[in-house]
Every structure is written in structure tokens, then in C-alpha cells.
Structure 1
Amino acid sequence: MGARSLTAGEKLPSIRALAKTMQVSPSTVVEAYDRLAAEGLIRSRPGSGFTVAGSLPPLALADVEPRLDREIDPFWVSRQSLDAAPEILKPGCGWLPADWLAHEPVRKAMRSLARADAAILADYGSTRGSPALRRILARQMVEEGIDAAPDQILLTGSGTQALDLLCRFLLQPGDTVLLDDPCYFNFQALLRAHRVNVVSVPYTASGPDVARFAEALATHRPRLYVTNSAIHNPTGASLSPQVAHKVLTLAAAHDLTIIEDDIFADFEIEPAARLAALDGLSRVIRIGSFSKTLSASVRCGFIAARPDWIEGLIDLQVATAFGGPSPIAAEIIAAVLSDGSYRKHIAALRTRLAKRRREAAAVLEAMGIRPWVEPRGGYYLWCRLPYGRDAADLAKTALRESVVLAPGNVFSVALSAPDLMRFNVAQMDSRAIEVLRRSL
């Protein structure tokens, strides 16, 4: 039917006749017909058997291939990476390969869930999310110098949903938000959806340019600053204590709220300065998730903030999502974090990534592609291309050979990174490197 070998309205063989022809059991035919009916390819009419459905959507190969003609904007890398077929290589994407993640602890937790109370498998999540997971997160934050009680932590459907909730809570259309330049491209995309003005400040190897930061606060009076402190995305840089102190001093003087996205924190061997720890969750809000380290399929994020803001965010999450994240996802993550396997997994990841970063940096430098900074951890290398080569053109060229790259200007509000590119070292295999070499 998908190949158009049968026409709309054509009658299909009966279950008994097809079972005899195919030499299979009638139950096998019933299951096959049920699946085809669920996909809308056939229709079942009582007393009349099965017929081919009409109005089949046209077969469009363009829908399953990379979109070469798409404008390179903050959505470009996300759309190309998320929709990529399995054979497409993604050194521009923002996650680890599936075989780098801890599948066995997740499977073990899922097997335990099969025996869990029916409420966990069927009910809505509570308004704050799993108490067990919030206690674990609170203990982890204490180890990092952040004094957050479990009631100061709100679980969300993902890290992105955490940021979206905070934007709904703190911003009005027309407000101004400060971003790093470069910054994670989905910060830009999400803020665009909230209809706010975005101003950017150049990011250095030790944090935002403090002089430009102060100038932006005085000139634009932003309500919010969104940043990564640990293993900054895309640069891989880390915030220094000196810059952190100056940023917090300026924020206090200008009544600025800061959202610190700490999603890459667990990749650090030696933790960098944290705005949330230095501030004590007064005007800094910490968000995070486990999509990068554990599973992007079992999604759960969190917000750590002052208690009165958490109360307001709870109401907002009920209004927009009717409760906290999936109890199943929260229970799986809590089980993995509490049995010791997560720490071992992270330790192994850090070692493996350190080796891969060194290898990738050497390969890239041999092509004249030089890392902007040596990261303290993680899987990104922010690199300058040789000869002023345009990264957007290079990305489009590589995409024709089924390789998704991340050109610099998708990360830059000011479009100040035309010859820079972010590479995910964990996603760079020999074929991706060869395509990159040819594209250059």
C-alpha cells in the first residue's frame, strides 16, 4: 500500500484466506491488519472485511533527508540533528552517542518499576516532583556549596521546560534578556518564542567580558541574564572566581536575576566557580537535567531557587503541565543516582572524553582548525576555521554528504562568529573527519 500497489477501496483477503495463503496463523494476520488499521492504511467495516484506505499521503523523500535549503538560524542544528536518519553523522549535535550512555542501570531501574505500585505507573506527578529525587539533588548541591533544601527544588519535564517556566514566571513581552555571545542556540530560540528583546555580551575564556557586561546593564537594563558557568556551551570555557564575583556585584547593583544552566556540571573533574553557590540562591536560579549524562529519552529537569519563587513556579507548572514530570522518569533517575552506578558511569565518561578531546584536537589542528580554549571537561571544542573559511558554507557542504555540523553564527546573537564552529568530539568518527577534510 505504501508502494501504491493497491488502490483505495480495494478489498483485502479475509483473515482466514490470507493465513492459508501465507501459511501463518490467523492471529498473525489479525495483528498485521490491526497495525495497518492503526496507521490509517486500511479500514475495517463490520461484515465487510478490510479495504484499502483512501487519501494516502504522497511519498516525499524530502521529508526523510536533510534540508539543504533551510536557513541557518538558531533552529538549524536542532532541526538537522533531531530529524537526522540513523546513517547521518552528527558532529554538530549536542549529545553523546547512545552507546556512550549508561543503559544497564536504566534497564535495571525499569525492571524494578515493573513491580512498582500502580500509582507510579498510572497517576499524575505531584506538584513538586518525586521527593526521593529532590532529596538526592539537595544532597548533591550541598556537596557543591549550594545550600538548597528539597522544598527549594522543583522537578520539571526537562531542562528546557525549566527555562521556559522561568521565562513565563519572570518575563513580560518586550522585556530585555542578556545572553553570552556565543551562547547555546536554543536560549535564543526559546526567548524569541517569549517575544523579548535579546542583548548579548562577548564571552571570554574566563566568563563574560565584565566591562561590556556592565555597559549592557547600564544601557539596556535587562531583567534577566541566562548563562552556563561550567563548561560553557559552545566555548567549553569555565567561569573564574574573579569574574563570578564581579558579575554578582553588578547584578545586585542593577537588580538583575540570573539563570545558571548547569547541565554540564557532572562532566567537570575540578568544579569551576558557581554563581548559585556564591549567591546562595538569592538572585541566582540554578537549572539542570540528566539528558546529557544519563538519557535524553528519560527526561527530567529541575529548578533550584528561593522558596517564594518555587511556590509561584509550582502554580505555573500546574497551569501549563498539570503537575510535575513523569513519575516514571523521576523514579528511574532516582534509582540510578542512588545505587552508585551513576558515579562510576560519570567517572568513566570523564576519562573517555578527556582522551577523545585530545585526539580530536590533534586531528583538527592538522587541518588548520584550532580550538579557541582547552575545556576542563565535556565534549565540545569551539574552533576557528583556517583562512577565514565561512562556517555556514562549510556546514551546508558537509550536509550534502550527510554530516551535520554546527556553524558559529547559530550561537551568536551578534553574528560575530562566521569562521567558528562547535565540534562534538564524541560524535566525530573517521568518516565525519574525512568529509570535513574534503569540505575544507
Structure 2
Amino acid sequence: MAIADAITGKAPGRTEAVAAEIRRRVAARILTAGEKLPSIRSFARTMQVSPSTVVEAYDRLVAEGLIASRPGSGFSVCGAVPAAVLRDAAPALDRAIDPLWVSRQSLDAEPDMLRPGCGWLPADWMPQAALRRALRALAHANAPVLSDYGPTRGSRDLRRLLARQFAMEGIEAGAEQILLTMSGTQSIDLVCRFLLQPGDAVLVDDPCYFNFQAVLHTHGARIIGVPYTPAGPDLELFAGLVAAHRPRLYVTNSALHNPTGATLSPKGAHQILTIAAAHGLTIVEDEIFADFEPEPSVRLAALDGLCRVIRIGSFSKTLSASARCGYVVARPELVEGLVDLQVATQFGGPSPVAAELVLRTLGDGSYRKHLAHLRGRLAKRRREVLGQLEGLGIRPWTLPRGGFYLWCRLPDGRDAAEVAKAALRERVVLAPGNVFSVGRSAPDFMRFNVAQMTPEVLPVLGRALR
């Protein structure tokens, strides 16, 4: 113990804990520039330390330049507050299982690298002919499409087309209830910006799509994981967590859950909505994989009538990840708020060129044929990859009804992060299980993209497992 601590009798860890809590509140924007800090005595009671410990912590923060002491007015946050950044908000993780690092490996991979851990289809699986026809037609589009900002809600024609498609799923929403965005990720970000305050609890599946966690961390959310089963979240635990933590949002995939490939059961959907209604919980239903289902499954948005459910999605998985265009479907008053927020942060919706490209391709009669062909091709590929993986002792957690993911357990309790490191040395990008797990409860799981499982992957995987 330092001499000063020995004299005062304070443990050095308590002073640092007080200082760290103030730093956290400033980084999460709970305390903003110019705002007064809690009084010394009140914060001492909050932190269960002596007032002298708080005084010392505040003095340290003054020395750091984070807060200022004003005689007669106490302490306040300095005017220049560091921008909130993900590395400050998110817990430090081993880079082998860091979701952002896995994403960067996939996105920045050289052409010769193999990417069975990525989250999209190979380019030659996409409707290239339809995209090229649409691009040629765009060359003759009206000048405003090529040069102007788009309307605040995005292309009216595309929104009307989507409204007709949603009606076929039992989701009654007019074009004015649909907001086009720049991507599915931006849709989630807008909803979080609009509905969350730093410190709010948000419930996610465990495991879940790892970028859900990354986006929520940037908003200072408290992320609560609920174990996922082949029929949806564990309903008993779901009810208990909602009652205990009072989360503001529940973010999930209903159709072809990422990463597990599971499908929510009708019984589970009804119980989730009942619990949500009882506790004022809003549900964000990401349906980016819905078109891969052979037959539509239950939709929370359809059952709920968009009362407590917000539907989001995009076209990056079935059409083109290059033509970035997503959407939000919600009750009218919520969409109005999101429109204003998108104008403030993006000055409008997606590029009119991107929206027109999506409209022309979706309206092309070939798109339905493309989806049917894609579902058949993926079903065949899943069967082939399942057999190949089982030859290495890798077993599926469940058999998906569709899509391109297999969530599998590695043999003999192998550490998936170590397997991913070994494979990366041979220029193969894998997605280890704890990337997706809030509770870090999937160390021996791996998510495989069957469309990206080329023959060259298996020998590398076999060597990495040794």
C-alpha cells in the first residue's frame, strides 16, 4: 500500500473504482459536458465508500482533465468530452473471438482467402444477370435519380412494393409505415438511437448475431443474454430475465436464426408477445433471412400487428450486399420519429440509385425464380457439408429448414478460437462460437457458411483440429 493510502487507511482500489465509475458515465454520455457531478457525500453513499475516497477520486479526475473543480459549485464535466467509441464501451476481448475482428478478417480478406466464417453468399450465387439488366436501365433513369437526394422515407415505389409483399405474410403496413434505410445495420442503429438511453437493458439471444452486440455496445446498453433453443429462446428464463431486468428491447431473428439456423415455434411466439405486453417490452425482429425459408414460419410482426414489434431487414443476403438498402416497418408514430432521426444523422434515406436498383431487380419476374433456385441449391449444399463435417467429428446443433448456416459443435471439446487461429494462419477465416455468445458459453461451437465451404477448406479445418 502506498504511504498516502497507509496514512488515510483507504484501499487504493476503492479510489480507482470511484474514478472508473465517473469515467464510465462520461463515456456513456450519462454525464455530459458542463454537467455537475454528484455531490461528494451523495456519491460516497452510492459507491459505499468514505467521502474522503470520493474527494481523492475527484482530484485524480481533475488532474486528468476530465472534470473541473469550481469553488462553491462542486465538480463538473469539462467541456471537451472524448467521443464515445466502441473500444471504450465494449469489454476487452481476445481478438480471436472479437466480433469486429472476425468481421474485418472477412471484409478485408484477399481474393485468395477462403471465408467459411463470413455471413454472405459468394458473388456468383447472386442474380448477376438481373442486376446487370437493372444497372443498364439505370443509365437511362431520370436525372434526379442519378444526382439528387432521395425522399426522407426513401423510394415510394419500392415502399409500395414492399408493403404488398408484407401483406402476403400477414403484415398489414402501408407505404408510410415503411422507412428505407442505408442497410439493415443502420436500421438497428436508428431504432437504438431513438429508443435507448445509456444503461438501458437490452435482451438478446445467446448465441445471437454478433453485430447486434457491437451496435448495442456503442449505445451504452446493458446486454442481457437469454439461452436459445431449437424452438426459440428458453421461455422460462426469458420471462424471468424480462421481469428482473425490465429490458427496453428484445432483438432477435425469428426465421432462420443467426447463427443457429433454428426457427421460432408458434407457441414460443405467442408467449414472447404475452410477456412483452405485460412488461412494456419492444421487440426488434430482424428478418434478413426470411426469404430463404422453404415455407414461411411464424412472424412476431404479423401476430402482433406492429404494436410492440418493429420489423427490420435488407436485401444484402439474397440480392446484393453492394447495393446497400434496408428498411424499418413499425407503427406510424415510431416511423415519424425515425424519419426525423435519419434526416438528422444521414440527411435522408438510402441512395436513390441503390433503391432504384433494388426496385427494378425485385420487380423483375426473375427474382422469384432466383430465390427458388437458391433455396434448392442451398438445401443440396447443406446436405453435402453436413456429411463432410461429420467426417471430421463435427456435429450440427440442429438441422435448419433453410439458409446457409450450420451451427456445429467441434469434437472432443476443442476450443473453437484456437481452431480459428490455426486456420487463419492458412488463410481460412472461421467464425468461432464465442463471437456470438454474450455469456461466452459456446467455446466449442463454430458457425459454418455452407455456400463458402469450398473443397479447399476441409483439409485446413482437419489440420486445425489436430
TM-score (norm 2): 0.79
Q: Distance in 2 between matches of 1:97 and 1:71?
A: 24
Q: Distance in 2 between matches of 1:365 and 1:72?
A: 24
Aligned to 2:314: 289
Aligned to 1:412: 437
Query: Quick one: which of 166, 178, 181 aligns to 2:203?
Result: 178
Aligned to 2:37: none
Does the CA contact (< 8 Å) of 2:256 and 2:293 recur in 1?
yes
Are residue 208 (structure 1) and residue 264 (structure 2) matched? no
Aligned to 2:263: 238
What pairs up with 1:24-103 in 2 under 5 angstroms?
Answer: 70-103=95-128
1:325 shift after superposition: 0.6
- Unpaired runs of at least 5, structure 2: 1-93
Q: Distance in 1 between matches of 2:399 and 2:129?
A: 32
What pairs up with 1:30-429 in 2 under 5 angstroms?
Answer: 70-429=95-454
SS in 2 for 1:217: helix
Q: Distance in 2 between matches of 1:144 and 1:340?
A: 19
Kindly provide the amino acid, as one letter, of the partner of residue 285 in structure 2.
E
Q: Distance in 1 between matches of 2:267 and 2:181?
A: 32
SS in 2 for 1:343: helix
1:219-255 Cα deviation digits (max 9, x unpaired): 1110000000000000000000000000000000000
SS in 2 for 1:421: strand
SS in 1 for 2:313: strand
Q: Distance in 2 between matches of 1:191 and 1:265?
A: 23
1:71 shift after superposition: 4.3
Equivalenced residues, count: 372
1:72 shift after superposition: 2.1
1:76 shift after superposition: 2.5
Aligned to 1:61: none
1:291-334 Cα deviation digits (max 9, x unpaired): 00000000100000000000000000000000111000000110
1:381 shift after superposition: 0.1
1:195 shift after superposition: 0.8
Q: Distance in 1 between matches of 2:333 and 2:365?
A: 33
Aligned to 2:14: none
Does the CA contact (< 8 Å) of 1:146 and 1:280 recur in 2?
yes
Does the CA contact (< 8 Å) of 2:96 and 2:417 recur in 1?
no
Does the CA contact (< 8 Å) of 2:105 and 2:429 recur in 1?
yes
Aligned to 2:60: none
Kindly provide the amino acid, as one letter, of the partner of residue 242 in structure 1.
K
1:104 shift after superposition: 1.1
SS in 1 for 2:99: coil
1:106 shift after superposition: 0.9
Kindly provide the amino acid, as one letter, of the partner of residue 193 in structure 1.
T
Q: Distance in 1 between matches of 2:310 and 2:262?
A: 20
1:62-85 Cα deviation digits (max 9, x unpaired): xxxxxxx94421212201101110
- Unpaired runs of at least 5, structure 1: 1-68
Q: Distance in 1 between matches of 2:402 and 2:97?
A: 28
1:211 shift after superposition: 0.4
Does the CA contact (< 8 Å) of 2:96 and 2:421 recur in 1?
no
TM superposition outliers: structure 1 runs of 4+ over 6 Å: none
TM-score (norm 1): 0.84
Does the CA contact (< 8 Å) of 1:281 and 1:305 recur in 2?
yes
1:32-75 Cα deviation digits (max 9, x unpaired): xxxxxxxxxxxxxxxxxxxxxxxxxxxxxxxxxxxxx9442121
Aligned to 1:60: none
1:272 shift after superposition: 1.2
Q: Distance in 2 between matches of 1:153 and 1:176?
A: 26
Identity of aligned residues (%): 70
Q: Distance in 2 between matches of 1:76 and 1:239?
A: 29
Kindly provide the amino acid, as one letter, of the partner of residue 409 in structure 1.
N
SS in 2 for 1:285: strand
Q: Distance in 1 between matches of 2:142 and 2:295?
A: 40
1:131 shift after superposition: 0.6
Q: Distance in 1 between matches of 2:263 and 2:145?
A: 39
SS in 2 for 1:75: helix
Does the CA contact (< 8 Å) of 1:76 and 1:410 recur in 2?
no
Kindly provide the amino acid, as one letter, of the partner of residue 210 in structure 2.
F
